[in-house]
Amino acid sequence: MKRTALFLMLLTALGSAAGATAADLESGAIYVHTARNGTTLTAGNKNGQTSALIPGTVFGADGQVLNAPAGLAAALVLSNGNALYLPNGGRLTLEEFTQEPITDTDRDRSFEPSRSNLRLNLTQGLLVISGRNPVPTSTFTLTTPLAQINCHAKSLVVQVDANSVTITMLDGVAEVTTPGNQAHDTVQAGQTATISRQTLHDAYPLKLATITTDAKEHFGVFMASAHRIESYTTFTGTRQHFQVALRIPVDYTMQISADDPRFL
């Protein structure tokens, strides 16, 4: 299944990113926005200690595992402007997040403030990502049990179930690679793609379709929450001394917490 033009465009973007040196990238900041009681964070170091995920804390990615039991929401904001939202629980490993120093904190908020590299591993759950237009040389890789997804987008949803993975691209483009036969395919804005264990070794394991109106409305609720999370959070200060600034909206309806039952 070849979509030559889109595939070449994506390879060009990813190739440019791969050619950039990693020396000027340092640990990015991750801010805990939402964490219901019962969500945990297991350290990525040798000790592997598990502790409660506490809203308001800031840390860097180094293999930490975020675990939110079914029905418990958790949301993180990254210093590149992305919100990672698990509205119904899930298991997410924060493998790597590096970023160039932010030199201009007043940059247009619709764009990523500096180049970044992000690697995540979603084992289970629904992950909603809302952010800013990525820098052309930024990279974002999401690994799932059935496929690896290299994204260049600001809004997408990935659902990992026991026997399937579904990718919904609300904008941008993603290259999907399946480990069974190293099949490659491209998913673009407005498309949803599903891979199951039954089709994993097929010649074309990814089943593409246009996003339905019902799916747009369903994911739109979660995406609105994720967008609120990231839009009210900014990072200031130097690389080693990040500070989080929260913009409190004046309108009451915009102050509802992202994990409020009325949002879900």
The CA distance from 169 to 211, in Å, is 9
Q: What is the DSSP string of 128-140?
A: EEE--BPPTT-EE
3-state helix, strand, coil in the chain (%, to 5): 15, 40, 45
Exposed/middle/buried for residue 5 (C-beta within 10 Å: 0-12, 13-18, 19+): exposed
Highest mean pLDDT among 110-114, 123-127, 195-199: 123-127
Q: How far apart are the first and last CA of the chain?
A: 36
CATH C-level class of 4-18+27-254? mainly beta
pLDDT digits (tens, 9 = 90+) for 216-253: 898 998 999 898 888 888 887 766 677 788 765 555 44
pLDDT digits (tens, 9 = 90+) for 64-100: 999 999 989 999 999 999 999 999 999 999 999 999 8
pLDDT-derived band at 123, boundaries 50, 70, 90: very high
What does pTM read for this prediction?
0.84
